[in-house]
Structure 1
Amino acid sequence: MNPHTGTGPPPRTGVRAPSRPVRTPPRPARLALRPPTFPPGPLCGAWWPRTDDLFAELPSLTEAFDAMRGRVSRMASHRDTWPATPCDLPVPGHTVKAAWFASGFDPNMIRLFSYGVGRWDLLVVPPRTETATAARLMAAAADPALHLTASELLAAERSLHADDEAVREQGQMEQWEDEGGAPRRPWPTRGPLSTPATVTVRDPFVASRQVR
């Protein structure tokens, strides 16, 4: 073996270069969209982010739209929807410009713009929403037969929960009275769960198949 003749230290054998950290690719966006063949409504669909970190969540959303509807160049949202409100949001391959509104914009919605294609208004399902609730909201937002805004959909879902809770409490009271509790008394009546304030949606299991 020839001796080392360089001016630096002799090369060390058996030592590997430090490996670069492997970046985990973002998980696919949980997205449900209206069929493109139907006329547009107040919403084009719904997005269910996993966290409220827009820097971490927006790349997977724009990736889905880049492939299906055209590259997203800009977005708009309400200032109170996200903890951070940056003007520039880096996503794979480009940067999305952001506009933030303090009023006159639905706080439960995000608006995406694509080059020369158009815009899309999406219901933002809160990240910590239960799976069944999120499935109902996403199915409703993507249903061409419904024409509700993002805030109206969330209000309808809250009304549905309130009605379910009232029915549950009434059942518990009737069971207690049947078992010898206080004499039965009239219970305040509420409208049926199919009142106009309640959103009629597809089977949550069917909707959950759209939540990727």
Structure 2
Amino acid sequence: MRADSSSPDTERLSIKPRNSESGHVDGAWWPRSRDLTAEVPELATALDGRIGPVWRVAYPPSGWAVTVREMIYQGRLIKLEGIGSQNVHIVHVTGGSMHRVTLLVIPPGTDELAAEGVLAAASGQNNVTCPEMLLDEFGARPTPENALARWESEGGRGEIAGAGG
């Protein structure tokens, strides 16, 4: 099942219990699209009880369609800060009195079962697995475009790790 046809009650945010080790991420988020301004309101609402009113979202510009640097949600200013050096699979959300959560971003088009697996694993108590390994474990990381392009440019005859020629 695809993300855009998932059931309405499918969880899209999962956070570790408060007494957990942080590790690489504090949980995972499965946005419906790569339009950050459209996704932030639901995320801010979901995180309000955990970190207070969201006032900043730091994101990797290569992973999102963002046209504004700030937005107003529920009468509050939220800064959208693109950080080029940030991991493409991560967003940092800051709220309240500088409380911050680091979330693994599950690609919007991910299969529902894979997304649910990543959500559960990333928010598991004391999970310290890196973002890429969490996505790979459930088949949720997209194939790099450059690898696909190279394979196609070689007529599909390029060597693939573990494949015979």
TM-score by length of 1: 0.57
Give me the whole-angstrom Cα distance separating, in 1, the residues matched to 2:34 and 2:57.
16
Q: Which amino acid aligns with 1:100?
A: G
The answer on 1:101 being equivalent to 2:83 is yes
Tell me the alpha carbon deviations over residues 116-173 of structure 1, each in whole angstroms, 9 at most, x when there is no partner.
14210001111111110001111111012421222232233349xxxxxxxxxxxxxx
Residue 72 of structure 1 pairs with residue 54 of structure 2: yes
The AA in structure 2 aligned to 1:49 is P
C-alpha separation between the residues in 2 aligned to 1:156 and 1:30?
Answer: 18
Report Cα offsets for 1:36-95 as digits up to 9, x if no partner. Answer: 122322111011111222111110110111233211111101011102252102322212
Q: Are 2:104 and 1:120 aligned?
A: no
1:63 partner SS: helix
Q: Which moved more, 1:118-127 or 1:93-102?
A: 93-102
Task: Output the aligned Cα RMSD.
Answer: 2.4
Segments ≥4 residues shifted beyond 6 Å: none
1:13 corresponding residue in structure 2: none
Q: What is the CA–CA distance in structure 1 between the aligned matches of 2:92 and 2:11, rounded to whole Å?
A: 15
Determine which of 119, 123, 132 is the counterpart of 2:113: 132
> Given the superposition, is the C-alpha separation of residues 29 and 158 from structure 1 closer, same or farther in structure 2, using an over 3 Å criterion?
closer
Alignment partners' CA distance in 2, 1:70 and 1:132: 30
Match for residue 42 of structure 2 among 38, 60, 63: 60
Q: Which has the higher contact order (CA 8 A, sep 6+)?
A: 2
TM-score (norm 2): 0.72
**C-alpha separation in 1, matches of 2:116 and 2:11:** 14
Partner secondary structure for residue 63 of structure 2: coil
Shift of 1:29: 6.9
Consecutive unaligned residues of structure 2, counting only runs of 5 or more, are: 1-8, 141-161
Q: Structure 1 regions of 5+ residues with no counterpart?
A: 1-26, 160-187, 189-212
Q: Does the residue aligned with 1:146 lie in a helix, a strand or coil?
A: coil
Identity between Structure 1 and Structure 2 (%): 30
The 8 Å contact of residues 137 and 154 in structure 1, kept in 2 or not, is answered as: yes
